[in-house]
Structure 1
Amino acid sequence: MTVELGQPVLPKVLVVLGNYKQSNFIADAIHSIRNQSYPHFKCVIVDDCSGDGSDLVIEELLSRLGDDRFCFAPTPENLGQMGAMIHGLSQVDEGEFVAFIDADDFWREDYLLCHVAMHLNPVQPVAVTCSNMTLVDEGKCMQGIHVPLIRQDARAVRLIEIDSLFNRDNILQQFAVPFDVAGRLITDPESAWNCSATSGAVFRRAALEATLPSKPSTIRICADSYWVQAAHYLGGTIWIQSPLGYYRIHGSNGFSFGKLTGIGGLRWHSRQGVAEAIKGELDAWIARNSDLLKSKGRLKPLRRLKTVEELRMREPKWLFRGVASVFKRYLRLRDWLRGKKY
């Protein structure tokens, strides 16, 4: 007797589009999602009480699209970026992966395809994939490249290539292979990301749910910085070095401060206290999940990282650079010796 086996299905992506007073730009974001070559997604559009008519613009756009993959879920009150992201995440149970996008940004047509392919790579699963973004102005004129901020001493395990996934009889055979995409696998928790643009990261849903902050209201902006670091601590990162999306520079957003002259002219900006709030939530999450992190062999490296960060705060920069390198080697050697029970 022959038993007919069901065929495996491709994972679904939950896309959370967050909007706050971006009624002039949100149409580009929505259309870029609609035009994705990877069709297996559900999009939740979250308006965080903008008060600028964004809700009417969104409703009109969705009415014209007539696409049941999109739904509108405004927040009951202004929650800030982290609160709005969590609100969107809670609206739909579907989606093994989650992509966030800001309403003033937009994606290349193969954005989701490339990120899903990296998550399905044949080498190692990770908690988050991050990609570079092209900087554009209000009129979509290209200005340079935005690269996720990563520590200079990050150690890449290996390069990840995904071409084989698109071969005949493989899982992505129905799609055209992206011509310019390769990933850099980074698993070391000490090689932590400082941040990646919200619109340039795709997470495993399980990783997001495992790293929910205890006080979302303390991270009203720069929520991407918290979640990319926490996910990396938990399960590592693949950095896609091709620009797969477009980060729009306008008004007073993060990359609009100072004269922009390509990548060298960018200056990160944040409100007072944001970095401290993110660090506090990360420390609290590590403390709450120490057993989980220990079981995955990631707790000791994170404690080393914290020790080095405390040294950074105490010592002047000129002294820290020389001392920290030696000190980190000492901490690694000490932990290795303790593991050997010498």
Structure 2
Amino acid sequence: MNQVTVVICNYNYARFLGAAIDSALAQDYPHVRVLVIDDGSTDGSRRVIESYGSRIAAVFKSNGGQGSAYNCAISLLESGYAVMLDADDVLYPTAVSRAVEVMDRGYAKAQFRLDVMDGAGRHTGTHVPHSDPPETCGDLLAQGWLYPSPPASGHVYQVSALKRIFPVPDTKFNRYGADFYAIYGVALQGRVASIPCSLGGYRIHQNSASDASFANSEDYGEVSQAFDERWSMLRQIAAKRIGVVLPSTCHDFAIEKARFCSCVYHAPLASRWHWLLKESGNYLHTVIANPFWGLRKKMGTLVLSSLCLLPFPSVSDFAVRYIVNPASRRRRAA
């Protein structure tokens, strides 16, 4: 039976860390090891970690960012599979066992949905992602199409595949978002299994349903440049370490909706129309040509996007929030 390491990379999340560790220790799979990498925290994280004693393994390192923490963790892995759990997220008790059952059929990675929670851990009534990619999404990725993926905590990886991608360079753009290399680098190496149910919780605590943002680490002013840098680095890693040649540009609705938001949210009507006429090409392409979406989702996104062109700021801003931030979507009636 394969051993699984749940890695928790932490930096100053003492207020959430205990819940993450507890959820890892509560897995019903019998062969789980919990490893916490503390990236130079200055809050009460050390006290939280040490309170678990020998039930977990821990490494306390100087602060270097998420990329540095991932590099450290993956270099230490000896198990067959690994979960890279963010310190502010949680796993449900059956997450590892459900994923291992699938992984044992020869997948490079299994991914599952995460329920979106607020800072207090209350469910918002939505989950991410809303689309499941095909098993062969790595083939489309090799053509430049980034597939729908949950955040970092929603994956179980083959450790051997992770070790072919990491370590990654220690740059300012890898202080956050190091999961990008794990998510997409592993998908280039084999089939990806999607488990169509929620097996964990993703905590959003630096914004709310009234915001047009959906990230805890980066603002939209930095997203575009960071994304371009990470794609360029992934291209170099893929070519050198696994022999896969990626195109120079890629298509990803997540990054295009960030650019869309930065152009039209709280913007005057003239600016919103300027976006449509001059800057909307890539955004529309990632909607219309998206190989992972069905016709209904494409049409719904286009209709919502068109609301941003109406001369009513409240309607436009609502549409942007609905598209960009899943936390703003109300629970549908059963």
TM-score (norm 1): 0.66
Is 1:86 the equivalent of 2:40? Answer: no
Once the 2 structures are TM-superposed, how far is the Cα of residue 192 of structure 1 from its aligned partner? 2.7
User: Where does residue 187 of structure 2 map in the other structure?
Assistant: 232
Say whether the 8 Å CA contact 1:149–1:193 is kept in structure 2: no
Change in 2 beyond 3 A, CA 1:13/1:319: closer
The match for 1:211 among 165, 171, 182 is 165
Q: Distance in 2 between matches of 1:146 and 1:323?
A: 21
Kindly indicate whether residue 235 of structure 2 is the aligned counterpart of residue 280 of structure 1.
no
Q: Kindly state the Cα deviation for residue 20 of structure 1 after the two structures are TM-superposed.
A: 0.9
Report the residue type matching 1:283 in the other structure.
R
Matched residues in 2 for 1:112 and 1:209: separation?
A: 20
Query: What does 1:15-94 align with in structure 2 at a 5 Å threshold?
Result: 15-60=6-51, 62-63=52-53, 66-67=54-55, 70-75=56-61, 77-92=62-77, 94=78
- Shift of residue 50 of structure 1? 1.1
In the alignment, the residues of structure 1 paired with residue 240 and residue 76 of structure 2 have an alpha-carbon distance, to the nearest angstrom, of 26
Contact preservation (8 Å) 2:89, 2:200: yes
**1:111 CA drift (Å):** 0.6
**Structure 1 SS opposite 2:60:** coil
Residue 296 of structure 1: aligned partner: none
Whether contact under 8 Å (1:44, 1:91) holds in the other structure is no
Q: Which residue of 2 aligns with 1:259?
A: 210
In the alignment, the residues of structure 1 paired with residue 286 and residue 210 of structure 2 have an alpha-carbon distance, to the nearest angstrom, of 34
Query: What are the superposed Cα offsets for residues 205-238 of structure 1, whole Å, 9 maximum, x if unpaired?
Result: 1110111254133411111122201111222311
Query: Given residue 130 of structure 1, which amino acid in structure 2 is its aligned partner?
Result: Q
Letter paired with 1:229: Y
Residue 194 of structure 1 and its aligned partner are, at CA, apart by 6.1
Amino acid at match of 1:281: M
Deviation for aligned residue 1:321: 4.9
From 120, 127, 130, the equivalent of 2:108 is 127
Partner Cα distance (1:135, 1:228) in 2: 19
Equivalenced residue count is 258
Q: Does 1:193 align with 2:147?
A: yes
Q: Which residue of 1 aligns with 2:201?
A: 246
Distance 1:281 1:307 in 2: 12
Q: Which residue of 2 aligns with 1:169?
A: none
Match of 1:110 in 2: 94
Instruction: String of CA shifts for 1:262-300, please: whole Å, max 9, x gaps.
Output: xxx77457341321221121121133146x33xxxxx4x
Larger radius of gyration: 1
In structure 2, what is the Cα distance between the partners aligned to 1:227 and 1:113? 21
Q: Distance in 1 between matches of 2:149 and 2:21?
A: 24
Question: What's 2:306 paired with?
Answer: none
Q: Distance in 1 between matches of 2:147 and 2:282?
A: 23
The 3 A distance-change label for structure 1 pair 116 and 317 is same
Which consecutive residues of structure 2, in runs of 5 or more, have no partner in the other structure?
A: 260-277, 292-334
8 Å contact kept, 1:48–1:79: yes
Question: Is residue 146–residue 250 contact of structure 2 (8 Å, CA) maintained in 1?
Answer: no
AA partner of residue 224 (structure 1):
D
2:251–2:286 contact (8 Å) kept in structure 1 = no
Equivalent in the alignment of 1:335: none
| Cα 1:249/1:309, change in 2 over 3 Å | closer
What secondary structure does 2:139 align onto?
coil
Deviation for aligned residue 1:139: 2.7
Instruction: State the Cα RMSD in Å.
Output: 3.2
CA shift, 1:196, in A, is 2.8
- The answer (yes or no) to whether the contact 1:219–1:277 under 8 Å persists in 2 is no
Could you tell me whether the CA contact under 8 Å between 1:135 and 1:246 is conserved in 2?
yes
* 1:99–1:201 Cα contact (<8 Å) kept: yes
Matches of 1:240 and 1:192, distance apart in 2: 18
Q: Which residue of 1 aligns with 2:85?
A: 101
Q: Distance in 2 between the 1:108 and 1:195 partners?
A: 18
Partner Cα separation in structure 1 for residue 131 and residue 191 of structure 2: 13
Task: Give the SS at the match of 1:17.
Answer: strand
Contact 1:186–1:239 under 8 Å retained in 2: no
**Paired position in structure 1 for 2:122:** 141
Aligned-pair distance for 1:319?
7.9
